[in-house]
Structure 1
Amino acid sequence: MVCAVSAAVTATLVTTVSSPAAAVATPGAAASPGGGLLPGPLNSVLPLPALPAPSLPALPLPLPLPTIVKPPASQPSPLPPIVQPAQPGGPGTQPAQQPAQPAAGAPGNEAPAAANPNVPVTPGNAAQIIANDPGADLYPQVPVDPADTPQARLVARLSEVQHRVQYLHNTIARTQVDLAVAQRQAGAVPSLITVLTSNTGDTTPTAGSYQGSVDSPEGRVLALTSAVASGQGELARRQAEVQNIQQQVNSSIQQAILNPAPVPATAANYGGGKLRRPVPGAITSTFGNRFDPYYHVWQLHAGADIGAPTGTPIVAAAAGRVTQAGWLGGYGYYTCIDHGQVNGQRMSTCYGHQSKILVTVGQQVSAGQVIGQVGSTGASTGPHLHFEVRLGGRPVDPMPWL
């Protein structure tokens, strides 16, 4: 009977991993004791849905089993509406204090994937947004171009898998909190059962044994343990995939830098070569997925952070045209510059958390021209420059460019 329970739980986890319809966690339950990262029910298996086919195919299902249905938790009280502030960020503007974040939706801005566009993202509601969609962007993302070239499709694939890694990190963290609570509720017996059944070869569960297992404390611990193991297995595969794609993207970037297209350098085209470092200073946080120090959930860090004191001049990394200059949610005061085409993709650099913006939208800037000053506006824990390189609007690692 123990072997049947264990194998049934394993098959159940395959079902939850492969079911996109189960991707939304039930909101509203209290946060787990013991420092849980995300709010939500303490006794529910958080599913791990696959991305839409064909890019990330679903895992095979050896035996169809019923879905666990839990009663909905009480709904949380609605978040307070945002008070729309005056638009900050004009040239030479420096606020007396950091303004409240305005709602997304201005031209060129997009709201986070799971956030209410009328409510600012704060450390208080970020966990609820991630509970509803572990892959959500808490930082507004600029519009992207169609992926209609091999290089563009490669960059789009990188972005897709990186968001999957973010999703898995947040889901595993949530499930580990649920597992810790289940283990405390069930006592020491489930730990022994987990050890005794970890090496079983029985893979013929029945619906009856499945139903009995999830209704027992021991089965609950086994189910959550299997969920964590399943998620960690996919996470390792996706992280290896990110590294592989990142190497290919960086290789194409190096080719573009060393062998630029025969297009003359103009005010809107930097003409190839390495980008200028926008500020002096050490890299304090690199590009990629990380546990966000401001929102306290896993997020894709779309650029590199360069440590510098408040007021340090920021220079344009290359010549181009300013396409964005103003406040953008967690990015604070944010500027983007279009530098023309690279390997068939629109290349731009963006500069976040500024204390002062010194350019306007539509302005032509030259390489090395001062465009703003370092600050700590938006979702920032200290003065630094958040520097991005985007291809077709999608972020890539800026370090190979510098």
Structure 2
Amino acid sequence: MRTVITGRLAGTSGGAIAEQALKACVHCGMCNATCPTYQLTGDERDGPRGRIYLMKQALEGAAPSATTLKHLDRCLSCRACETTCPSGVQYHRLLDIARAEIAGQVGRRPLERLKRWGVRRLASNPGLFRLATALGRAVPLPAALKTKLPPKVEAGATPAPTRARKMIMLGGCVQKASAPHFNATMARILDRAGVSLVEARLAGCCGALHFHLDAEDEARVAARANVDAWWSLVEAGAEAILVNSSGCAAFLKDYPDLLRDDPAYADRASRLAAMVRDPIEVLAELDLKPLRAPADPKIAVHEPCTLQHGLKLTGKIPALLRRLGYDPQAVADAHLCCGSAGAYSLLQPELSNQLKANKLAALNASAPAAIYTANIGCWTHLATGGEAPVRHWLEAVDEVTRP
């Protein structure tokens, strides 16, 4: 697609990335076949091809409108289109650059800006989020808000980091407050395999929420803080950065892009991004032996978009769980997003709830004993849907391998 970037992005690294993505697109439309929002609305502007045309017009000098921004905001950034695209268009990089530029030109209404600011402040502060969750459980709330409260699960013990082999663990922000059992479970499994997980005291939010909610500079601050916090552990011999929330892992993999224009951090960001691992990548290589059969082997596995299309690890978790004695059931339209997508469920509730209903129907179709997922946002989103309980897949591993 012939492209000439104009305006503030012309001659910048962001402009070059956008231009490359636009030129790669041959407007075949195959992306629409796997786009969750296009499936719901049937509007070309709610599919990747239509959004690419909207972004191209704006980046080439046409004045964008509130309608342009509305259709870009409806994008889940699920990246299913990237998996489908025969031309290798890096759609999410184009979207990140163009949406920030268009939002800056169009502007947002005060209430919308306040909502995005509030989500950023609340979600990135574990203490504040923990307090808000506790208050939400204690007082009556409208049904729409009540469904956003994650179930309370006890974390259990976390082993001391005494093993010779060490890996860094991302504590997270929302996860640390609402699902501490994710990290505790992972630490116990890895400890039994001879690996200790260590958490850097000054590491915090990965920055994804900031980045996708109009606060790119705040995202870079968070990224630099994590690079600084982890660097001494890397130099001390940490083997990997283990992240059991696939959304955070996918964003950490993008740190080199986020900090590409920062000469003080670009090289270290690239080195750290290369060390990021989802726990399935580590556990799949270990000779895990089940010590008992699953209480009920019939399960459904929800593979988040960030695991499938961001980390490219489709099929790994079901394969491991099958090896451990579980019976993962087939899930229809497994490539489609559940509607969580970070703060999307709060900002686009209508589309998000439709996607959630479709996903839960597909996951529960075989009447599994439990549903296992791999991302904090998806767990929070789906866990209040009823029918089979929703858990992290590491809990399934822990069930059959713990002494």
TM-score when normalising by structure 1: 0.29
Larger Rg: 1
Structure with greater strand share of residues: 1
**Bigger RCO of structures 1 and 2 (CA < 8 A, at least 6 apart):** 1
The structure in which a higher percent of residues are helix is 2
